[in-house]
Amino acid sequence: MTLAFGTFNNVQINTVLVAAQPGKIIRVAKILVTTWASMKVSFVSDPGADPLNLTPPMQVSGAGLNLQLGRSYALATGRGKALGFTASFQLSSAEYSIAVWYEVVN
């Protein structure tokens, strides 16, 4: 497993979290989001003009989000596609961190 991590403090729309690797699939086994504000976050394959949603918008608040999917239920990007996310706040913006544990497969 490889860890990708980022800290942000504003709205993000289709932001790349894990870069695409030609001919490979990115499989996400665990997602951790921490924040003290109320926000929504979703994950996408092929961030950009026409992304594919991998999750619906998920509500995150002070308790954070700890989504443990494992290999059996991993989120998978399309072959050769990057992993991205979209985050928005419901009231005021605040710093938040996103960590994903992933593996790259054929």
The two tokens of residue 104 are 């790259």
69-80 exposure pattern, b = at least 16 Cβ within 10 A, e = fewer: eeeeebbebeee
pLDDT, tens digit, 9 for 90 and up, residues 73-99: 999 999 999 999 999 998 888 999 999
pTM of the full predicted structure?
A: 0.92
pLDDT, tens digit, 9 for 90 and up, residues 46-75: 998 899 999 999 999 988 999 999 999 999
Please state, in angstroms and as integers, the Cα–Cα distance from residue 56 to each residue in 1, 17, 61, 63, following that order. 24, 17, 16, 19
Distance CA 53, CA 4 (A): 19
pLDDT the model gives residue 60: 95
Structure confidence at residue 26 as a pLDDT band (50, 70, 90): very high
CATH number of 2-105: 2.60.120
